[in-house]
Structure 1
Amino acid sequence: MSADSVFSSTFSFNKLVIFGVGLIGGSLARALRERGARAPGAQVVGVGRHAQSVARALELGVIDTAATLDDEAALAAALAGADIALIAAPVAQTQSLLERIAPHLDASTVVTDAGSTKGDVIAAARAALGARIGQFVPGHPIAGRESSGVEAALPDLYVGRNVVLCPLAENAPEAVARVAAMWRATGAVIGEMPAAQHDRVFASVSHLPHVLSFALVDQILGAPDAELKFSFAAGGFRDFTRIAASSPEMWRDVCLANRSALLAELDGYTEVLAKLRAAIDRGDGAALETAFARSRAAREAWQERGGKRAAPGAPGTTPADGESGK
């Protein structure tokens, strides 16, 4: 991954269009406004599937104007003269959104996304944009909360957090630098990695933990004494299952979009569980302690390096609060 310093630290814009003004898109808009990165007269436009989906963002002052995907004239006006357009919607919607946007997209507009998977998003962008694929710079802000929606948006959500860019061969360096500068203006740390590597890394440190968290809750829920178990659940259960409060729709899409890498991680995790099960079954305390000690040391080393707020140039890590997951 390249270091943060390769990009320009300045950022200004005339018009930013956000498709999906929820936690991720709303936090970007608030950060640019409240952290002083927004020049006078700059405009943030929020676009949603229906009027009610952007009405709250408008009411809260997160966006300046709103448009809906089903209003052709409003959509065209929203994109006219836009510097940057951000796709902050579930990854499964990427192709349909880009197809909707493409007819109204200025040649100078840079499009980026906030999706948790990149291989599928890039394929969707190629299908939708064709020869204009150079306008699309794949991105992934590694930040989030269990809460969703624009009400949960925070101006400091991205401070110290990683944003991974996965530039394409067709991207102009200026387009990549512009997206990087936008995220840096929110306080984020910028890095790059190839899309395939991104999907392998995040299958391990983000997608797998979410699946395991959902799975534990589901296992207990299926037990005949589930209510009793939940009534005695405390700190360990709370910490392990916190991300099971994330959006089921969003994580369904992530799992399916990154299925190959995620299946490989699930297989690897199953092998480790099998070894631990065998050690427990044979009463091998030494083997258990060795495995646990090794894991604790690795966890402590990660924490000392800054945990989820990783240093510049370090691979993105899994936020304790979930992640963009779009």
Structure 2
Amino acid sequence: MKKLLVFGIGLIGGSLALALKAANAGWHVTGVGRAGDSLQEALALGIIDEAASDIATALQDADVVMIATPVAQIAPILQRIAPYLEDKTVVTDAGSTKADIAEQAQHILGNAASRFVPGHPIAGAEKSGPSAAQATLYQNKNVVLTPGEHTDPAAVQAVRALWASTGAVVREMSPSGHDTIFAAVSHLPHLLAFALVDELAARPDADQFFEFAASGFRDFTRIAGSSPEMWRDISLANRTALLQELDRYQATLADLRQSLEQGDAAGLQAIFERASHARNAWAKRNTSASWKN
């Protein structure tokens, strides 16, 4: 059997393991994690075949290493595995930022950097840990790979095949292009949701506001229930692109504020109509397409 070593057996890494098992893809999955309790839970749930604590031993005969941890932990893990990587071993990750990780891998892995394939599955949920893992999480979902100019094509193909066996749709783009896009469509929405909930929660009469919050508030703030640690790391790792998106968003808010102050009904309606049209068109494409974000 092919050997897959997974760092981080939570929602992302655990779902990958379950999807591979459901597909009978012929992988033996070894889990490595920070917390022994999580590894034991993953074993008990049948997510992994084996738990490992000694990295040198775990890496023996490994075909693929998947690093499915918060982005701030990826570079330290690369440093830990670098001395023990075999010539055949392909390394990939599931981090939500790519340019920083690709650059770190070049410095840390040396010659083995050609076998590092940065990746990002565009799938997730607010829950975390092994119990949140789902065998169907990646079906018809995008997985973005961002190989560099010197990435071994065979390594890219190995990671493509790994994800394809989960039912994912594998796409490629540059690391910088990835970070620009996801700063706008993923990272910024999370910042806004966290900010709104935090601002309301800090009010003396917060309980009254939350008591009357309904579906609009629930839908807008759903992602504020995500892992604070993970989104702290993502925000800092992609801060340049994210700051640019914040500036653009604040400019739009300034336009809205001006329209409100001036009682400009036509201005407000124009913004709302453009947004409504774009949102409905996106939803229609997303429903009819074979893949979803």
Give the Å deviation of 1:132: 1.7
1:117-139 CA-to-partner distances (Å, cap 9, x unmatched) read 00111122122112221010000
1:28 and 1:155 in contact (8 A); partners too: yes
Q: Is 1:204 aligned with 2:153?
A: no
2:31 and 2:50 in contact (8 A); partners too: yes
Give the Å deviation of 1:43: 1.1
Coordinate RMSD, CA, aligned: 1.4
1:267 and 1:99 mapped to 2: Cα distance? Answer: 35
| Structure 2 counterparts to residues 1-326 of structure 1, below 5 A | 14-36=2-24, 38-39=25-26, 42-68=27-53, 74-306=54-286, 311=290, 317=293
2:61 and 2:150 mapped to 1: Cα distance? Answer: 22
**Which residue identity does 1:283 align to in structure 2?**
G
Which structure has the highest helix share of the two?
2
2:252 and 2:204 mapped to 1: Cα distance? Answer: 28
2:38 and 2:130 in contact (8 A); partners too: no
1:154-181 CA-to-partner distances (Å, cap 9, x unmatched) read 0000011000000111211111011011
1:239 and 1:231 mapped to 2: Cα distance? Answer: 15
**Which residue identity does 1:292 align to in structure 2?**
F
Give the Å deviation of 1:152: 0.5
Using CA pairs under 8 Å that are at least 6 residues apart, name the structure with larger relative contact order, 1 or 2.
1
- SS at structure 1 position matched to 2:204: coil
Give the Å deviation of 1:53: 2.8
Q: Which residue of 2 aligns with 1:320?
A: none
How many residue pairs align between the two structures?
293
1:181 and 1:286 mapped to 2: Cα distance? Answer: 52
Give the Å deviation of 1:310: 5.5
Which consecutive residues of structure 2, in runs of 5 or more, have no partner in the other structure? none
1:94 and 1:85 mapped to 2: Cα distance? Answer: 12
1:19 and 1:48 in contact (8 A); partners too: yes
1:283 and 1:225 mapped to 2: Cα distance? Answer: 29
TM-score by length of 1: 0.87
**Which residue identity does 1:51 align to in structure 2?**
G
**Which residue identity does 2:281 align to in structure 1?**
A
2:216 and 2:21 mapped to 1: Cα distance? Answer: 38
Give the Å deviation of 1:311: 4.8
1:80-138 CA-to-partner distances (Å, cap 9, x unmatched) read 11111000011111111011011111110100000000011112212211222101000
1:160 and 1:310 in contact (8 A); partners too: no
2:165 and 2:77 mapped to 1: Cα distance? Answer: 26
- SS at structure 2 position matched to 1:80: coil
